[in-house]
Amino acid sequence: MQVLGSKLQASLLPRTGARSAFRSAAASGRAVGPRTTYTPVMASAAAPEAPTKWTDEETNKSCRGRSTMGVFVNSNYDSGNIDVINITNPRDHTIHEVELKIHPDPLCDKDKREHMQWFYFRVSNALDETLNCRIINAGQASFPRAWRGYNVCASYDRRHWFRVPTEYDGESGVLSWTHTPERGACYYAYFAPFSYEQHQDLVAEMQCHDNVTLEMLGETLDGHDIDLLRIGEDIEGKRKIWVLARQHPGESMAEYFAEGLLRRLVDPTDPTSRKLLRDCVFYVVPCMCPDGVFRGHLRTNAAGANLNREWAAPSMDVSPEVFLVRNEMDDVGVDMLVDVHGDEELPYNFIVGNHGVPSWDDKAAALFAQFSAAFCAASPDFQSERGYGTAPPNSANLSLCSKQIGERFKCLSVTLEQPFKDNADLPERKQGWSPERSRKLGAAMLDAVLAVVPKLR
């Protein structure tokens, strides 16, 4: 029987809340999982499809995104996202035309749109076959200007990712690349994925360290765990440092950043980490939006909520991830927050301060400047000259995480952005910005945190 993905289920079932739609799909006997590449038509288990036939002399085209004895495209796995429009398999093994569409997130009411830009899929039976991949709805993406200067990520083993030269036609709105894989299967993605399974591996590994406690704060709408890692002893007098990642699920570099920070923080031989844990306790949420990660979304959770617009008034019905994390913050306190993201357009690493919140003053500005300068000194991949600019006084949107928490706790609170493309100040041609560099940047930030700890209170 054909498998339907979770996005498709949500669109076909009565919507009495994302949780009930998801559970209803599971109860109906349909498999629950990430987006499939198949056409949304149920197939009878008793009547399998007839074999695909050649439709003309040169090309075998399949209405289900596959070809008999030819190239096959699929994204029916954790974090996968692509819809197949057409694949050609020439008999003379010339160029295979692979026509694709990105599947959108659910409608986000606050943003008034169905976000999309994230893609992740596998092409099989591709050894030494030249593929001309075309994403024909790239012009309808949430950030179409971001395709300029972008190169797609590719991998054979899902561990090492490299870049493939990519072109964007602004008139047609088509993103395209031509590639001849050197292995039978090749994975392509907007950025190197950090799947929900990888997240589970990370928190399982971290909890095995003596100074780490894993706490499940609650469930998401799809029934995934909301995980909080506490590193260090939570005793009176210690500074409370919070690090959140992956509010936007398609920004996978954010969790690689968190991974690098965590690995250094639990290293008992690292003097910076030892000194930090003497004076601080860290609260790290490596994946704020596990539903969106598993479903292959760009910016939203299962209900279509942009979590970084929910911090003023979160709810268990729409944004339980924010509701539960903010409640935990209220319980334990916050002396510093870093909310880690990825920026589709700007090819730089930078932080955004809380200029514009009502409590912003000279002391807050000096602390922000000190942290920024210390981060620049800690990593040549970080800079402070380019970013989003400075907000006018009293103009901050307090529904954003860093703004809400900075104002709520009168603390140093920043948004950190990493590029999807590369760091233009220090480019690396083969990989661009990569998981390896994200991890190193996360580890380096601990030096900057150490520099400001004495002034956090």
Tell me which residues are annotated as active site. 417
Q: Are 295 and 283 in contact (CB under 8 A)?
A: no
